Amino acid sequence: MTTPVITLKKHDSLETAEHLFKANHIRHIPVVDGNAIIGMLSYTDLLRLSFADVALNDDDNMSDVMVYSMFNIEQVMNRNIVSVSSSNSIKEVAEILASKEFHALPVVDNNALTGIVTTTDLIKYLLLQF
């Protein structure tokens, strides 16, 4: 799993979220209230809102700013969260990711977000085994 976890709060702006995605080269950000996870935002969620051509990678795109001002993180985030604990086996995590077609799972221990495991994390682990 990846730690520490980059997180958002439900009152953060979608522009902040986009900046975090791009600056950290990530595709999933848990949304938290204190230490508790309340949602998950993916970069794909933002792309669905955007009418701009993402291939241009234009940070000053006014279309994005206008669209982002119409929505907030709480409206866009996924609230149906499936999480794992740090005691779950790699096989169990892989089975959840494969069967649910998720690409990231928050790791929650004692009702607090402690990490995130992604398909990339699993691939890196498998590569180390060879």
Confidence (pLDDT) at 48: 84
Sorted by sequence, the CB contacts under 8 Å of residue 21 that are 6+ apart come out as 27, 29, 43, 46
| pLDDT tens profile 64-76 | 556 777 889 999 9
**Which tokens hold the place of 65?**
């700013």
The matching CATH number, chosen from 3.40.50.12780, 3.40.190.10, 3.30.530.50, 3.10.580.10, for 8-128 is 3.10.580.10
> What are the residue ranges spanned by the domains of the chain?
8-128
| pLDDT tens profile 24-60 | 999 999 999 998 999 999 999 888 887 544 444 555 5
**Which tokens hold the place of 1?**
């799993």
Q: Is the dihedral of CA 117, 28, 23, 123 positive or negative?
A: positive
Confidence (pLDDT) at 15: 92
Task: For residues 17 and 67, give the distance between their C-alpha atoms in angstroms, rounded to a whole number.
Answer: 13
